[in-house]
Structure 1
Amino acid sequence: MKRPHRIGFVLYPQISTVNLAVSAVFEMANWKAGYPIYEITLVSERGGPVATSVGSNILTESYKRRSFDTILVAGEHNPAAAAPPGVVRYLRSAGRRGVRIASICTGTFVLAEAGLLDGRRATTHWNHARSLRERYPKVNLDVDRIFTSDGPIWTSAGMSAGIDLALALVEEDFGREMARETAKLMVVYHRRAGGQSQHSTLLDLDATSDRIQTVLAYAKRNLGKRLSMTDLADAACLSPRQFSRLFRDETGQAPAKAIELLRVESARLMMEAGRFSSEEIARKNGFGNRDRMRRSFIRAFGQPPQAIQRNMRAL
């Protein structure tokens, strides 16, 4: 039997406990395979207990004099703190040997401190993107991705995006079918492609009243229709004037702008799926034609649909 793929999961004080969920991906892959295809070891510089962000301790082994095929680096809630010098030196050495190294959430800061991201594409939690850009200007940061891979270096956005990254690693190691079956065992969608946005338009709009939430749900179901102000006001059981004022108060957006954002988000996801032509995407999302969709994409993303599609194909 072939030896398991060895993963060293690097922890350090105050790591966020949500990072540990990533290890379940490799556990489920082992379960599906029926034997250990992964061997995961929780490691730290000195070994012993490592305090987490919630105050609990996790027992680790020292990574010194250990050999791994993949090194995962956890993140913490306060990336402004200095990266552990010993961990930085360890990662720098592993990088020189060509080991596959991946970070979860703000673990990107640790990889950047080690110089592993200079000139490479990377991502991190959107809330810390500005800080990373300022501290590490050599990093080619793409905050509108949930994970990236650039050579042997992988990075993910925050929280659940680490699971998507881990499923992508399983796919690279053992194929698409193994990743798909692992995702099914975890009761998650088959991994999101790295190009999916970290943001959700419905979440960003953050409507608080039932009326506006109902309108947004209605609009989401009917993006292929015209969706006039009267249609939206009727869905809210308000006059157009009352509806417009309430919508702006709750979301900070004009109704027409919000609908456009919902449309470009839906269109981008359809492009990512790769099963529809540009004409179909424009029609199904209520743009009417490709030219109108192009103008909306430029307003929303600063680039046309064709550029986004090229970026997806390049990954």
Structure 2
Amino acid sequence: MNSANDVPSVSRLKIGFILARSFTLSAFALFVDTLRLASDEADKSGRVLADWQVLGSTRHLITSSCGVQVAPTSDFIDPSEFNYIVVVGGLLNSETPVDHHTVEYLKKAAARKVSLIGVCTGTFILAEAGLMKNHQSCVSWLHHDVFRERFPGHEVRADRIFNLDRNRGSCAGGSSAADMAAYIVRRHISKAAERNALEVLQIDKARTALHIQPRRPLSIESNDPRLKAALIIMERNIEKTISIDKLAASVGLSRRQLERLFVEKANSSPAIIYRRMRLERAKHLVMETDAPLIEIAMEVGFENASHFAKAFRKAFGQSPTKLRDVVAAVP
């Protein structure tokens, strides 16, 4: 991400917010309140060290997903006025979460090298505008599959709470919006400003970009963040499987270290657990869809139907064809 000195004419940390239709109020509130409390001492709310605006192509009220409305405070002024422009998304069922003028403004900001951040599904808006093609995106595990389907060829992860990739940022949303805002405050203002904001918000300590999203894959209990991250990465790479070496590297371990970790914490090897995930996904598809078995085999990373059938029978005690017949016979 750009440092404060990368954008000339900016004396304070300045952030512009773009709120999508049905945006997530909590994510916006936590982000902007972290800025507010970092900008002044105690809880005075003065815009001493930071400033922010809610930008809009019109001054019409923007309705959040919970029904609370927020009014833009500024038109689309020169994007170079800001260190960051933060797009706060929300519900995915809106076909046009922002209008054409907003998309053009974001493209203009990108052309002027202003750092862009997607919060919650705001990353979808940036990707739809073609602004995340060469950057890694971080989205909630709830939205990972939808993102991958909509934007093939984009690098996306759903294990971390937020991600910073050069002049693009992305955040899973929810409480992690405060963590990302705290990082920006610490980077551009000071640790003291960050501490002031977090203390007033009753947050003990900001989580880093390496923190794992609070979700437990499968039924494996573990507090080890490296194991959690590896499991989520496996879960998100069922169709296009990745090697154990690459999996280990993605969580900062060697293959041997990863294997030792899995044996210690999960009483199994990463390869066995990965195959189990793939076969559980296959079992669901066999029972819930009419897809040909060869398609299911390919979707969960098997090269041919014969190999798939053997692995399936070993795991579940019957062939995929037999299981589908049993399911079909149930009235």
Scaled to the shorter chain, the TM-score interval is 0.5 to 0.7
Per-residue CA distance 1:232-269 (angstroms, 9 max, x = gap): xxxxxxxxxxxxxxxxxxxxx7xxxx4xx323x33539
Give, as a single letter, the amino acid of the residue that structure 2 aligns with 1:185: V
Residue 192 of structure 1 aligns to a residue whose secondary structure is: coil
Question: Which residue matches 1:71?
Answer: 85
The alignment of Structure 1 onto Structure 2 pairs a total of residues equal to 231
| Distance in 2 of aligned mates of 1:48 and 1:297 | 52
Question: Which residue matches 1:266?
Answer: 224
| Distance in 1 of aligned mates of 2:71 and 2:94 | 25
Task: Tell me how far 1:290 sits from its aligned partner.
Answer: 5.5
Task: Tell me how far 1:135 sits from its aligned partner.
Answer: 0.9
* Length-normalised TM-score, structure 1: 0.64
| Distance in 1 of aligned mates of 2:225 and 2:92 | 35
Question: Which residue matches 1:236?
Answer: none
Q: Over aligned residue pairs, what C-alpha RMSD do you find?
A: 3.2
Per-residue CA distance 1:250-301 (angstroms, 9 max, x = gap): xxx7xxxx4xx323x3353999xxxxxx9xxx9xxxx9x6583496556668
Task: Tell me how far 1:177 sits from its aligned partner.
Answer: 4.2
Question: Which residue matches 2:197?
Answer: 182
Give the percent of matched residue pairs that are identical in Structure 1 and Structure 2: 23
Return the match for 1:40 from 41, 44, 52: 52
Moved >4 Å (runs of 4+): 294-302
Question: Which residue matches 1:91?
Answer: 106
Q: Contact 1:104–1:158 (CA<8 Å) still a contact in 2?
A: yes
Return the match for 1:82 from 74, 96, 105: 96
Q: Contact 1:196–1:269 (CA<8 Å) still a contact in 2?
A: no
The structure-2 alpha-carbon separation of the partners of 1:262 and 1:43, relative to structure 1 and needing over 3 Å to count, comes to: same
Give, as a single letter, the amino acid of the residue that structure 2 aligns with 1:266: D
The structure-2 alpha-carbon separation of the partners of 1:91 and 1:159, relative to structure 1 and needing over 3 Å to count, comes to: same
Give, as a single letter, the amino acid of the residue that structure 1 aligns with 2:263: R
| Distance in 1 of aligned mates of 2:66 and 2:123 | 21
Task: Tell me how far 1:71 sits from its aligned partner.
Answer: 0.7
Question: Which residue matches 2:299?
Answer: none
Please identify which structure carries the higher helix content.
1
Residue 31 of structure 1 aligns to a residue whose secondary structure is: coil
Q: Contact 2:113–2:167 (CA<8 Å) still a contact in 1?
A: yes
Specify every segment of 5 or more residues in structure 1 that has no aligned partner in the other structure, as ranges: 205-252, 272-277, 303-315
Per-residue CA distance 1:123-159 (angstroms, 9 max, x = gap): 1121111111111123210111100000111100031
Give, as a single letter, the amino acid of the residue that structure 1 aligns with 2:13: H
* Greater RCO (Cα-Cα under 8 Å, separation 6 or more): 2
| Distance in 1 of aligned mates of 2:262 and 2:138 | 31
Q: Contact 2:55–2:76 (CA<8 Å) still a contact in 1?
A: no
* Length-normalised TM-score, structure 2: 0.61
Task: Tell me how far 1:42 sits from its aligned partner.
Answer: 1.3
Specify every segment of 5 or more residues in structure 2 that has no aligned partner in the other structure, as ranges: 1-9, 230-252, 276-331
1:61 aligns with 2:73: yes
Residue 171 of structure 1 aligns to a residue whose secondary structure is: helix
Residue 41 of structure 1 aligns to a residue whose secondary structure is: strand
Give, as a single letter, the amino acid of the residue that structure 2 aligns with 1:144: D
